[in-house]
């Protein structure tokens, strides 16, 4: 089952359908990055995008470091 989550960006409302089990997590993350009750400008959207990609970069680096340690032990 899906759930609709919306956000105002540049004066327009955008809605996305996400799986219900993901909706609560996404809503909480969006509340950290955006004004969920009002409008958000494009600069804020870009900043959130860059911030989330940096988090993914760090996570990938951490996974690679763990994988290298495991491979050395084998």
Each residue's pLDDT tens digit, 3-61: 999 999 999 999 999 999 999 999 999 999 999 999 999 999 999 999 999 999 999 99
Domain containing 27 equals 2-73
The number of folded domains in the chain is 1
Strand locations in the chain (E): 2-9, 12-19, 39-40
Each residue's pLDDT tens digit, 52-62: 999 999 999 99
């Amino acid at each position: 089952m899906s759930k609709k989550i919306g956000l105002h960006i540049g004066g327009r409302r955008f809605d996305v359908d996400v799986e219900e089990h993901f909706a609560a997590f996404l809503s909480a993350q969006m509340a950290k990055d955006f004004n969920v009750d009002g409008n958000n400008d494009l600069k804020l959207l870009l900043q959130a995008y860059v911030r989330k990609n940096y988090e993914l970069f760090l996570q990938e680096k951490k996974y690679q470091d763990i994988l290298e340690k495991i491979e050395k032990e084998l």
